[in-house]
Amino acid sequence: MKLKEEGSKIRLAKVDATEESELAQEFGVRGYPTIKFFKNGDKSSPKEYSAGREAADIINWLNKRTGPAATTLDDDAAVAALIEGSEVVVVGFFKDMESDRAKAFLQTAESMDEVPFGITSSDAAFSKYEVKEDNVVLFKKFDEGRNNYEGEGTKEDFLNFIKSNQLPLVIEFTEQTAPKIFGGEIKTHILLFLPKSAADYQDKLDNFKKAATSFKGRILFIFIDSDHTDNHRILEFFGLRKDECPAVRLITLEEEMTKYKPESDDLSADKIKEFCDRFLDGKVKPHLMSQDVPDDWDKNPVKVLVGKNFEEVAFDEKKNVFIEFYAPWCGHCKQLAPIWDQLGEKFKDNEDIVIAKMDSTANEIEAVKIHSFPTLKYFPAGTDKKVVDYNGERTLDGFSNFLTSGGQDGAADEDLEDLDEVDEPELEEDEDDQQKKDEL
């Protein structure tokens, strides 16, 4: 509707990929929603949409693809209109449009999809926004309202300046903000799980925001409403219950996702700042979740493992141990469960082989990092703590042949990753949509 009002020639369309499966396969659609941009009828290489899910995000992204990277603003009114139209905008104030700084600014605009860019040489604009000399200003409708660039004026510096200031000091996790949170440059996130219904909600949020000022551009501070049902999956991911909130957790989203827990439950600004400082200094150890060992963990043919008994069972020097790492909500895991039980029954009298399973949403271990569900790994007997990935057929015969071959028939190649038919851990999808492949 907004594009139509603006007289845009851009047209939006939608495809039900469950009905048009061949079309979805042609363009590599593996999760929903997937948005692709086709320009000038070229179907060979459509551009993957990568910005936010709000209408303004989509329109800004499309305008960047069909027009100049930075809109020319002829006067102060045009600057004001651009600022008013978006949550965050970046304006280059340049008297000399041919300067190296102006060219670096335009290069920056071309490389960023997240925010609208404008450029002006208007005397009235310089005066109204109190810009004394050529410079770049980021305007935003939150926190301090604007940030004035200070630096040498290179593209890299402009990018760092914008990325450090374009998000609020504390950003609430929602479906709309998730792409900005996970797609940003900052891969260390500290999360405050706090029910909005709490009597001291605002005080705790203010303390969190106060602590955030010291870590701008280094740690992203995220608030999560623990009352909201859409966020319960995230609580489960961190091993938290609603009655344990408010609580703070920190996570790094590099090659491996690693979680950290403060030693203290004190949520004052000073304590949160101290925790972040200790983390940045490398003085905080990862927090590995574990359930208590069930009393009947070895009663059934399929043994039940948790973080606290994993090492002694998986790395038993005299046993060959085959383990399914699963998630309770995972559809593929549910389909595999009866076959895994049959496997346990078949090998229950074999003293050399142990069939086991572990809920990886509630238990974490240093020796193995789980990225998808179900993950099947084999731990052969011996002292070298070897781990073999299973990549064969998920049938009773396939598993049996793998075990009787000593972990050879069905073992994955070292560089092979077959993720086409697995469920991956996600923070924002409903159970019925777990087959979507998408990053956290």
**Three-state secondary-structure class, residue 61:** helix
Mean pLDDT throughout 263-268?
92
Beta-carbon contacts of 102 under 8 Å, excluding residues fewer than 6 positions away, are 92, 94, 96, 119, 134
Q: Tell me, what's the pLDDT at 414? A: 54
Reported confidence tier of residue 83, pLDDT bands at 50, 70, 90: very high
* DSSP per residue, 303-352: EEE-TTTHHHHHT-TT-EEEEEEE-TT-HHHHHHHHHHHHHHHHTTT-TT
**Residue-level pLDDT at 45:** 65
Kindly state the helix (H) or strand (E) to which residue 170 belongs, with its residue range. strand 170-172
Is pLDDT larger for residue 213 or for residue 6?
213
Q: What is the pLDDT of residues 18-58, one digit of tens each?
A: 888 888 888 888 778 888 888 667 777 677 776 777 787 78
pLDDT in tens, 224-238: 999 999 898 899 888
Give the predicted TM-score (pTM) of the model: 0.64
Does pLDDT of 102 surpass 50?
A: yes
Amino acid 64: pLDDT: 65
CA distance 71 to 105: 12
115-134 confidence digits (pLDDT tens): 899 999 999 999 999 999 99
Model pLDDT, residue 436:
35
Residue 34 backbone class (left: φ over 0; alpha: ψ -120 to 50; beta: rest): beta
In sequence order, which ranges of 213-317 are alpha helices (DSSP H)? Answer: 232-237, 269-280, 310-314
Looking at residue 371, its pLDDT comes to 80
Lowest mean pLDDT segment, chosen from 66-75, 289-298, 372-381: 66-75
Q: What's the average model confidence in pLDDT over 174-192?
A: 87
- pLDDT at res. 433: 38
Question: What is the structure's pLDDT at 6?
Answer: 72
Q: Please give the span between the terminal C-alpha atoms of the chain, in angstroms, as a whole number.
A: 31
**Average model confidence (pLDDT) for the chain?**
87
What percent of the chain is predicted at pLDDT more than 70?
Answer: 91
Would you state the pLDDT for residue 246? 95
- Residue 432 pLDDT level (bands cut at 50, 70, 90): very low
Residue 438's pLDDT is 37
